[in-house]
């Protein structure tokens, strides 16, 4: 039907990126390597949908929203609600630092690229980077516990370190967080994708 919209393979390199739809967080990549299947994944806060280069525009319009809905449903299933985050902080403090009796007034997810979490002790607000949605429980717990200690102790001094050291799997959690950051740097977006997103 939409034959004239087919990509001209002769003009394309491997995985060439053609102008697709890019509505805020959604990026469509037409891949010449991809023959049939369509895949979608979360990358750096965006949902990337990879489709075969030859897929018609009509099929793209039909398939892409379906794939995006699937990713969002998966994420909703594994993402802790904000009240669940607050409950988890309460559990961690009771278990590991019962001397801290302050509780956050607000715990929320926030799009943060530079930090894993933040704590504003004045209004007792804790923010957790949405990069931790779907992270292993240990990594999320570690960040929650770190920020929760800040309710009582604002710096990273000896007292802070002594309490944080009670976290049972700090090394495993740190390894995940460091690995995630290393991967983010290594997989920095290719220039073509940046251009597409900045249009
Ligand atoms: Zn800190």
E strand intervals along 45-140:
46-52, 106-110, 117-120, 125-129
CA of 74 to the centre of ligand 1 (A): 30
Q: Are strands 26-31 and 46-52 parallel, antiparallel or unpaired?
A: parallel
pLDDT band at 140 (very low <50, low <70, confident <90, very high): very high
Say which residues have a Cβ less than 8 Å from residue 129's Cβ, sequence separation at least 6.
Answer: 109, 110, 111, 112, 113, 115, 116, 117, 143
Give pLDDT, residue 198.
Answer: 62
CA of 143 to the centre of ligand 1 (A): 9
CA of 119 to the centre of ligand 1 (A): 8
Say which residues have a Cβ less than 8 Å from residue 105's Cβ, sequence separation at least 6.
Answer: 123, 124, 125
CA of 79 to the centre of ligand 1 (A): 23
CA of 147 to the centre of ligand 1 (A): 6
CA of 78 to the centre of ligand 1 (A): 26
CA of 54 to the centre of ligand 1 (A): 49
Give pLDDT, residue 92.
Answer: 97
Q: Model pTM? A: 0.61
pLDDT digits 0-9 by tens, 5-20: 333 333 333 333 444 4
Give pLDDT, residue 1.
Answer: 35
CA of 14 to the centre of ligand 1 (A): 43
Backbone angles phi, psi at 60, to 5 degrees: -60, -45
- Domain boundaries defined on the chain: 3-77, 82-186
23: left (phi over 0), alpha (psi -120 to 50) or beta: beta
82-186 has which CATH code?
3.30.2010.10
CA dist 147 and 125 (Å) reads 10
Highest mean pLDDT among 30-39, 54-63, 84-93, 184-193: 84-93
> pLDDT > 70: what percent of the chain?
79
């Amino acid at each position: 039907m939409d034959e004239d919209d087919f990509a001209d393979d002769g003009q394309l390199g491997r995985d060439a990126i053609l102008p697709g739809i890019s509505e805020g967080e959604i990026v469509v990549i037409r891949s010449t390597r991809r023959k049939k299947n369509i895949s979608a994944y979360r990358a750096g806060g965006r949902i990337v949908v990879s489709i075969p280069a030859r897929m018609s525009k009509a099929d793209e319009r039909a398939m892409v929203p379906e794939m995006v809905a699937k990713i969002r449903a998966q994420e909703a299933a594994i993402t802790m609600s904000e009240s669940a985050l607050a409950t988890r902080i309460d559990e961690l403090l009771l278990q590991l630092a019962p001397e801290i009796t302050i509780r956050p007034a607000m715990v929320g997810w926030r799009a943060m690229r530079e930090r894993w979490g933040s704590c504003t002790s004045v209004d007792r607000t804790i923010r957790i980077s949405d990069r931790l949605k779907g992270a292993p429980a240990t990594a999320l717990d570690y960040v929650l516990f770190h920020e929760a200690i800040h309710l009582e102790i604002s710096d990273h001094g000896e007292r802070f370190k002594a309490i944080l050291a009670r976290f049972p799997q700090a090394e495993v959690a740190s390894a995940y967080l460091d690995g995630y950051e290393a991967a983010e740097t290594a997989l920095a977006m290719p220039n073509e994708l940046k251009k597409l997103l900045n249009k």
